[in-house]
Chains A and B, each alone.
Chain A
Amino acid sequence: MLVITRKTGERICLGDDITITVLEVVGSTVRLGIDAPAEIPVFRHELWEAVKEENRAAADASVSQLKAPEDTP
């Protein structure tokens, strides 16, 4: 892993098309500005982890659980 120290207002470039700007640092929180082409997906890491977790949890379902709503008067 490449580790770089940046100050507020400084930037990091990933290739020619992606620029990440450090907008603000307050305590342990960093606000970043990301300029990237539309075809590059950008999302918070924990959101993807949450999707994984939901898929795994959903795969625990049983046939009887799915039938329950139908049988409930």
Chain B
Amino acid sequence: MHVNSTRFGEIEIREDAVISFPEGLPGLDGEQWALIASSEESPFFWLHAVDHPAVAVPVTSPWLFFSDYEVSVPEDAANALGLDDPNDAYIVCVVRASDEIRDFTINLAGPLVINAATRTGRQVINAAGGYAVRHPLFSEVELNEVQPSSAPVPVTAAAE
């Protein structure tokens, strides 16, 4: 499937890489999305709206940055997604990028929960409370020590 992207130009996405968010992502247009790797070394992906050329958000696996992060998937979302075991969910969080790396934030309160088997997803309010919608992505320590290109990256779609 061809997707016309204002960021990446014409890109080819495999049909089986399309993820359906039947409720959409709050605040954004689009029900069909695809994960696009920005590069093999980057911990970030773009979640790109298939039918909206300008709509894409950076996402990442929260555990690459916060190993003790917890997600509790609300029961209604687990049911809607057909997740018998919420541990089977593939989870990413939306990243708010910035010109300065220290200003990057991650939404830990509203993770995207994806059933990889059915390729359907939903953004939920994390029932494990206490997380911020705008949590700093890099701590001061990490800024001094981090090797940001060392993260493993699962690739479900690739920009051509």
Q: Do A and B bind each other?
A: yes
Q: Which residues of A contact B (CB under 8 A)?
A: 38-41, 43, 47-48, 50-59, 61-63, 65-70, 72
Interface-central residue, A56, A58, A61, A69, by most chain B CB under 10 Å:
A58
Q: Which residues of chain B are near A51, meaning CB under 8 Å?
A: 26-27, 107, 109-110, 123, 125, 133
Q: Which residues of B contact A48 (CB under 8 A)?
A: 26, 125
Answer whether A58 and B97 are a contact pair too, CB < 8 Å, given A39-B76, A51-B125, A70-B41: yes
Besides A54-B110, A61-B95, 12 other A-B contacts (C-beta < 8 A)? A48-B125, A51-B27, A53-B27, A55-B25, A56-B28, A58-B94, A58-B107, A61-B56, A61-B96, A66-B44, A66-B58, A70-B149
- CB contacts (< 8 Å) of A62 on chain B: these are 7, 97
Q: Report how many A-B pairs have Cβ atoms within 8 Å.
A: 97
Closest approach, in angstroms, between the C-beta of B83 and any C-beta of chain A?
Answer: 13
Dominant SS among interface residues on chain B: loop
Q: Are B133 and A59 in contact (CB under 8 A)?
A: no
Give complex CA distance A54, B103 in Å: 14
Instruction: For the complex formed, measure the closest distance between the CB of A30 and the CB atoms of chain B, giving whole angstroms.
Output: 20
Across the interface, do B76 and A55 meet the contact criterion of CB distance under 8 Å? no
Instruction: Count residues on chain B whose CB falls below 8 Å from chain A CBs.
Output: 39
B119 within 8 A of A: no
Q: Give CA–CA (A43, B98) in the complex, Å.
A: 29
**Separation of A48 and B38 alpha carbons in the complex (Å):** 28
Interfacial chain A residues near B133, Cβ < 8 Å: 47, 50-51, 53-54
Alpha-carbon gap, A53 to B123, bound state (A):
13
Q: Which residues of B contact A61 (CB under 8 A)?
A: 56-58, 95-97
